[in-house]
Amino acid sequence: MNYYSSQISKLIEELSKLPGIGSKTAQRLAFHIINMPEEQAVRLADSIRDAKQNVHYCKECFTLTDADICPICKSPDRDHGVIMVVENPRDLAAYEKTGKFEGVYHVLHGAISPMLGIGPGDIKLKELMARLQKDVKEVIIATNSSLEGETTAMYISKLIKPTGIRVTRIASGVPVGGDLEYIDEVTLLRALEGRVEL
Ligand code: ZN
């Protein structure tokens, strides 16, 4: 790509590292950015830097936030005795969009996958168990219905069962292998309402 100036090539190269962006799209985006009004391009660059510098995991639920504790964990209106366990912040957002879940969340940041070498120590499981020391009535496992999601659900349920805390799994209204983030709100709600005891 040395027929472009080195700075354009650099921009194209960085953009093409993003997921789902091939070299053609990266070129198109790079030229789009170069043709932007300067203040718009600066805003884009600033927002990337600010997000990267200020966004981190909530100390309580491990979702992404720019505060110490995220607004959901901080809210006195939420039921802190009901914890929904999800694989990633996008799944949390999917359930939050339904506006019907009144508990709080726990974000695992992944799922157990022996094939990919991801074990229980690689996701935020210890952190979940630590939260159960507080007054928790129910843990709703809302990991994806993929092999990894199911493996993780079984593993968590076995860990929690001896504590006497109620453990449930969202119903199979969620299609097998389906990623929560792509599922419509009605199906998500039905899955939550039809949750089963583990
Ligand atoms: Zn939180």
The CA distance from 61 to 58, in Å, is 6
User: Is the CATH code 3.40.1360.10 the one for domain 64-197?
Assistant: yes
Give the pLDDT of residue 177.
57
Fold type of domain 6-54: Helicase, Ruva Protein; domain 3 (1.10.8)
Q: Where are the domains of the chain?
A: 6-54, 64-197
Compute CA 17 distance to the chain's CA centroid, rounded to the nearest angstrom: 21
Q: Ligand 1 center to residue 181 CA distance, Å? A: 18
Average pLDDT of the chain, as a whole number:
91
| pLDDT tens per residue, range 43-70 | 999 999 999 999 999 999 999 999 999 9
Q: Ligand 1 center to residue 153 CA distance, Å? A: 21
Q: Ligand 1 center to residue 78 CA distance, Å? A: 11
3-state helix, strand, coil in the chain (%, to 5): 50, 15, 35
Beta-bridge partner residues of 131:
none
Q: Specify the pTM.
A: 0.79
| pLDDT tens per residue, range 3-40 | 778 999 999 999 999 999 999 999 999 999 999 999 99
Give the pLDDT of residue 41.
96
Work out the average pLDDT over 119-147: 94
The CA distance from 25 to 31, in Å, is 10
Q: Ligand 1 center to residue 64 CA distance, Å? A: 8
Q: Ligand 1 center to residue 121 CA distance, Å? A: 20
10 Å Cβ neighbour count for 49? 10
